[in-house]
Structure 1
Amino acid sequence: MSKVRYGIIGVGNMGSAHAGTIFHGGIKGAELTAVCDGLPDKREWARQQWPGVAVFESTEAMLASGLVDAVIVASPHYSHPEEAIKAFSAGVHVLVEKPAGVYAKQVREMNEAAAASGKTFGIMYNQRMNPLYRKLRELISSGELGEIRRTNWIITNWYRSQAYYDSGSWRATWSGEGGGVLINQCPHQLDLWPWTIGMMPTRIRAFCQFGKHRNIEVENDVTAYAEYANGATGVFITSTSDAPGTNRLEVTGDRGKIVIEDGKMTFWRLRQSETEFNASNKIPFGTPEVWKVEIPDQGPSPEHAGIMQNFTDAILHGSELIAPGEEGINGLLISNAIHLSTWTDDWVELPFDEELHYEELSKRIASSTFRKSEPAAPAMPVDLSRTF
């Protein structure tokens, strides 16, 4: 195979943007050969946008055409696992948009289908391409920061007005999206959190507020507290109604502290580990010597195009995936645990009872305000530089 023939499942904002990137030659070794969408207006729009590209009404028809080697799943959240499983069954490689799904139970089924197919499976975690977070992961994995003791992430610059929520009946509903800020805006941070520090929480206690300052039914203000097997703790705070918001990640280890904020990384590095200092220090108010290190600019991030190029290279040349699809469940487990902790008003141990989570989610879906009563507008490409 000299080129990967791509099909796009869902010509919404993200699907149309990915299609455009491939169609215009943005990914080496890739070509756009097909797209599919259930809405006639979107299919007609696609024909005008990408001349010569086959347009299908259904995923099944596109997969049966023999025109695609790989698909990008960019359909609504709930359908991500379902569409991916169809593609794996047809012997096609799959790159799925975030989130991997809405609840862990369905994502496990997708992961099992991927493993059984033997096909390349990736997820569009474009922030794994961000040099800042790649550098953070490197500093932690190399031991430069020492053993992790604490993480704090305040990510409240996801401002969304009521007009945003009113722009679609599916938005911010349990039936339409399956959640709010955790499932829509924060999947990247919920992925980066365990990916950068190299470990998952063992238990979580969380407090979600639903429709705070907004007329919506899902969570838009969250505070979560996590504990880890090594004794470390973490706090995750997010909101869509703070103005101005903050995006600040702090990771404290035995050898110092790293802060990422305003696109910059600062490393407060201890000359001697805190453990060693504490064992030898005899001065009552003594503190470890610390050096403030401004980490040099790591350069621009290739974002979504970087993930698509890596995925294409994995198919063609066996390159290692930066964002394996199987890892999409990690961030989702955290968001599911946050929801479940709030719903049960209790701690949630990981792994948690996924059936219980699904039962609680189903109760909220049953009473959701979302009903499929209005057609979606034709797709317009999204500005990928503004999706994080």
Structure 2
Amino acid sequence: MSLVKVGIIGVGNKGKSYAFQLYKGLVKNAVLTAVCGREKQKNWVKENLTDKVQFYQDENAFFVESGIEAVIIATPHYSHPDLAKKAFTNGMHVLLEKPAGVYSKNVIEMNEMSTKSGKVFAIMHNQRTNPLYQKLRHLIQSGELGEIKRINWTITDWYRSQSYYDLNTWRATWAGEGGGVLLNQASHQLDLLLWTTGLIPKRVHAFCHIGKYHEIEVEDDVTAYIEFENGATGVFITSTGEAPGTNRFEIAGDHGKVVVEDQSLTFFRLTQSEREFNAMFKGGFGAPTYTQTDIQIKGEELGHLGIIQNWINAIVDKYVLIAPGEEGIKSLELINSIYLSSWLNKTLELPINEDFYFNKLMEKMGKSTF
């Protein structure tokens, strides 16, 4: 079996990490043959990778001349959709670093090109490889929790100091990153929220606090109220300014409640469905009884390497993707709606008008310090 020739565009921290994994042979059935980056990264490639790995500064030459069959895109957020579209045009399989993009308008175009190309398209939602969230998804999708009524996720353990934001001028700017904690950090949890529950957001009212804890021009503290198509409601809270932080995900359903916290999964299982109890109970004050079970989690979290290997396996042996690239738009559309709701200070129906959001974002970019 011939090895899949893989190229990487973007030689920052993530790109270097992926390059090492491929170069060291940690990904089966794949070989790194080309890298595209800036002039200052040329020496790093020369010192750390074999001469057989070609280095390109010109992205057009990289896509046209390198001979690669698949590409990992690890560049800044704004460039993700355009580079993916260029890769599909040149007949390449694509693994895209998260997020799918900054605004849904060009991500929709990217997804359409992916479908037409017939190539394998994945996104780096690496936390989907965590067996804890895989177990949670199975528990919910199998119906054990019943109809979901409410979700509540507090994810504030993304603490960042001012020095983190000061490392690069593009960090935490509308023109450089396109957002703050919501887009850059908590997009992982929003993907997991939608992926594990299967819920479809219908209405949002949110509050994004700009530079509440840091000298930055984007949000570092968010509280969002969400209503879903099935009638469930949810609150999503995230911040980079709290220490110690919390990571607690609660899902309440007709058959009980599930709590994910401290890498553990606890199921408070009702002995009778709440709706049945409500209809039949005649004792006035009372509540359904329940049993508490700490669910054992088996397996290891494969992380970024697991997503890369799964992508290669899908190319070579038609494995089912853990994180299909087209699904990246789901969390992005929710992120865009949270931003817009906060900017307008109003409740919004989903989907929002993508052109209107794009224009509002351009206003932010026009005033950006980057």
Give the TM-score, by structure 1 length: 0.94
**1:118, CA displacement in angstroms?**
1.0
CA RMSD of aligned residues (A): 0.9
Mapped to 1, the partners of 2:352 and 2:28 lie a distance apart of 42
Verify: 1:44 aligned to 2:62, yes or no.
Answer: no
* SS of residue matched to 1:146: coil
Look up the match of 2:57.
57
Verify: 1:300 aligned to 2:322, yes or no.
Answer: no
* Sequence identity percentage: 55
Mapped to 2, the partners of 1:157 and 1:177 lie a distance apart of 20
Mapped to 2, the partners of 1:326 and 1:336 lie a distance apart of 17
Unaligned runs of 5+ in 2: none
CA contact (8 A) 2:34 2:66 kept: no
Look up the match of 1:380.
none
Mapped to 1, the partners of 2:259 and 2:211 lie a distance apart of 31
Query: For 1:107-134, what per-residue CA distance to the aligned partner results, in whole angstroms no more than 9, with x for missing partners?
Result: 1111111111111101010011111111
Look up the match of 2:10.
10
Mapped to 2, the partners of 1:50 and 1:67 lie a distance apart of 18
Mapped to 2, the partners of 1:245 and 1:61 lie a distance apart of 45
CA contact (8 A) 1:208 1:221 kept: yes
Look up the match of 1:123.
123
The number of residue pairs the alignment matches comes to 369
Mapped to 2, the partners of 1:113 and 1:16 lie a distance apart of 27
**1:288, CA displacement in angstroms?**
0.8
* SS of residue matched to 1:55: strand
Look up the match of 2:232.
232
**1:67, CA displacement in angstroms?**
2.4
Query: For 1:176-218, what per-residue CA distance to the aligned partner results, in whole angstroms no more than 9, with x for missing partners?
Result: 0000001111111111111110122101000000000211000
Query: For 1:328-349, what per-residue CA distance to the aligned partner results, in whole angstroms no more than 9, with x for missing partners?
Result: 0000011100000011111111
Look up the match of 2:140.
140
**Comparing 353-362 and 63-72, the one that deviates more:** 63-72
**1:46, CA displacement in angstroms?**
1.0
Look up the match of 1:109.
109
Higher RCO (C-alpha under 8 Å, 6+ residues apart): 1
Look up the match of 1:264.
264
CA contact (8 A) 1:2 1:316 kept: no
Mapped to 2, the partners of 1:155 and 1:4 lie a distance apart of 38
Look up the match of 1:162.
162
Mapped to 1, the partners of 2:333 and 2:190 lie a distance apart of 9
**1:299, CA displacement in angstroms?**
2.9
* SS of residue matched to 2:283: coil
Amino acid at match of 2:45: A
Amino acid at match of 2:286: G
Look up the match of 1:35.
35
CA contact (8 A) 2:73 2:95 kept: yes
Query: For 1:13-36, what per-residue CA distance to the aligned partner results, in whole angstroms no more than 9, with x for missing partners?
Result: 101101111111111111111110
Look up the match of 1:281.
281
**1:298, CA displacement in angstroms?**
2.4
**1:231, CA displacement in angstroms?**
1.1
* SS of residue matched to 2:244: coil
Mapped to 1, the partners of 2:49 and 2:342 lie a distance apart of 45
CA contact (8 A) 2:135 2:297 kept: no
Mapped to 1, the partners of 2:213 and 2:198 lie a distance apart of 35
* SS of residue matched to 2:183: coil
CA contact (8 A) 2:173 2:216 kept: yes
* SS of residue matched to 1:183: helix
Mapped to 1, the partners of 2:256 and 2:67 lie a distance apart of 53
Mapped to 1, the partners of 2:120 and 2:246 lie a distance apart of 36
* SS of residue matched to 2:169: coil
**1:66, CA displacement in angstroms?**
4.4
Mapped to 2, the partners of 1:29 and 1:324 lie a distance apart of 20
Amino acid at match of 1:109: E
Mapped to 2, the partners of 1:70 and 1:59 lie a distance apart of 14
Verify: 1:184 aligned to 2:203, yes or no.
Answer: no
* SS of residue matched to 1:333: helix
Mapped to 2, the partners of 1:55 and 1:11 lie a distance apart of 11
Amino acid at match of 1:229: E
Query: For 1:41-70, what per-residue CA distance to the aligned partner results, in whole angstroms no more than 9, with x for missing partners?
Result: 212211211112111112221221242110
Look up the match of 2:290.
290
CA contact (8 A) 1:313 1:319 kept: yes
Mapped to 2, the partners of 1:258 and 1:2 lie a distance apart of 45
Moved over 6 A (4+): none
* SS of residue matched to 1:196: helix
**1:278, CA displacement in angstroms?**
1.0
